[in-house]
Amino acid sequence: MGGIVARVHQWQGKEMATAWDVGGGHQLPTRAEQQSVLLALLEASEIGDGAVLDLGVGSGLVAEVVLEALPRAELIGIDFSPPMLELARERLRRFGTRVLLRAGDLSEPNAIDLPLRRYRAAFSVQTIHHLSDHEKAAAFAWVAGIVEPGGLVVIIDRVRVEEPLFKDWLLVWRRIDPTTAGTFADHLEDLAQAGDHPALLEDQLAWMKVAGLNACCLHLYGNRALLVGRKAR
Ligand SMILES: C[S@@+](CC[C@H](N)C(=O)[O-])C[C@H]1O[C@@H](n2cnc3c(N)ncnc32)[C@H](O)[C@@H]1O
């Protein structure tokens, strides 16, 4: 199963959404550290009572800690999965009018009905790899157009590992997840099953730069990257 069919199939089901909410987010050994870097970047970014955009808000796991860390900010969360949005609605209810959740498909960002706000920052965690490369570049261009001058864009996501370096990657990754095994063919099969399309790190940075962001990878372990973009003032 490929492309759009795989990703719609994957996330639109209640079972998948609940499974992610209960455990999916916690299985990745780099997640806590990169989330903590995201929070530090947001806290230092003078968000005030401005808005922060969460692309692929899921069940609101990251949105919740962001709303706690930025007590005056408003968070707008986008996702195309109704059961994920329902879980996010429950989790984030206590933040009242500081949260706005919108159904939207990031593969067609211009069709997303985004409220008019002062977007001081945007972030995306473990979501962008669900888009094709063309869609990733378009999503970066869209988000760069939305954030205010000086605004922050943080992308936390997987990057593509190529075959000649697969064994080297495996050796590095096993330092934090000793159970990881398999061949490059298994790796490709897993990606296909999940409908994942990670792009090369250098391509993702290039698309961010073409979109008008100053961009850099500021945290990387194995194939898990935290990319930071800043729109010129
Ligand atoms: C792995 S989950 C991550 C959720 C959340 N960011 C977190 O880290 O807990 C990926 C999320 O991206 C959403 N997603 C995937 N492709 C999408 C698309 N094209 N448009 C909008 N949301 C999408 C899925 O529905 C799912 O909620």
Integer angstrom CA distances of residue 109 from 79, 144, 161, 232: 11, 12, 27, 22
Query: Does any ligand 1 atom lie closer than 6 A to the CB of residue 196?
Result: no
Atom 1 of ligand 1 has which residue's CA nearest to it?
Answer: 126
Distance 45 CA to ligand 1 centre (A): 24
Query: Does any ligand 1 atom lie closer than 6 A to the CB of residue 39?
Result: no
Atom 4 of ligand 1 has which residue's CA nearest to it?
Answer: 58
pLDDT of residue 3: 46
Distance 109 CA to ligand 1 centre (A): 14
* pLDDT tens digits in sequence order for the chain, 233 residues long: 344 455 556 788 888 899 899 987 778 999 999 999 999 999 999 999 999 999 999 999 999 999 999 999 999 999 999 999 999 999 999 999 999 999 999 999 999 999 999 999 999 999 999 999 999 999 999 999 999 999 999 999 999 999 999 999 999 999 999 999 999 999 999 999 988 999 999 999 999 999 999 999 999 999 999 999 999 99
- d(CA 88, CA 223) in angstroms, rounded, equals 27
Helix (H) or strand (E) holding 166: helix 166-173
Query: Does any ligand 1 atom lie closer than 6 A to the CB of residue 84?
Result: yes
Integer angstrom CA distances of residue 66 from 3, 74, 87: 31, 10, 17
Cβ partners under 8 Å of residue 127, min gap 6: 55, 56, 58, 106, 157
Strands 119-125 vs 74-79: parallel, antiparallel or unpaired = unpaired
Integer angstrom CA distances of residue 11 from 17, 18, 51, 56, 79: 6, 10, 26, 11, 10
- d(CA 120, CA 86) in angstroms, rounded, equals 26
DSSP code of residue 95: G
Atom 22 of ligand 1 has which residue's CA nearest to it?
Answer: 79
Contact between residue 65 and residue 33 where contact means Cβ atoms under 8 Å apart: no
Angle of helix 3-11 relative to helix 14-22, nearest 10 degrees, comes to 70
Two structure tokens written together for 109? 């960002």
Contact between residue 3 and residue 192 where contact means Cβ atoms under 8 Å apart: no
pLDDT of residue 1: 39
pLDDT of residue 11: 83
Atom 9 of ligand 1 has which residue's CA nearest to it?
Answer: 61
Query: Does any ligand 1 atom lie closer than 6 A to the CB of residue 7?
Result: yes
pLDDT of residue 12: 82
Task: Using a cut of 0.85, tell me whether the model's pTM lies above it.
Answer: yes
Contact between residue 6 and residue 195 where contact means Cβ atoms under 8 Å apart: yes
pLDDT of residue 23: 85
- d(CA 65, CA 38) in angstroms, rounded, equals 10
Distance 171 CA to ligand 1 centre (A): 29
pLDDT of residue 4: 47
For residue 99, the SS3 value is strand
Backbone dihedral angles phi then psi of residue 151, each to the nearest 5 degrees: -70, 160
Domain with residues 3-231, CATH architecture:
3-Layer(aba) Sandwich (3.40)
Query: Does any ligand 1 atom lie closer than 6 A to the CB of residue 80?
Result: yes
Q: Amino acid letter at 97? A: T
Distance 80 CA to ligand 1 centre (A): 7
pLDDT of residue 2: 43
Distance 79 CA to ligand 1 centre (A): 6
- d(CA 37, CA 34) in angstroms, rounded, equals 5
Two structure tokens written together for 21? 């909410």
| Helix/strand number for the chain, H first, E second | 9, 7
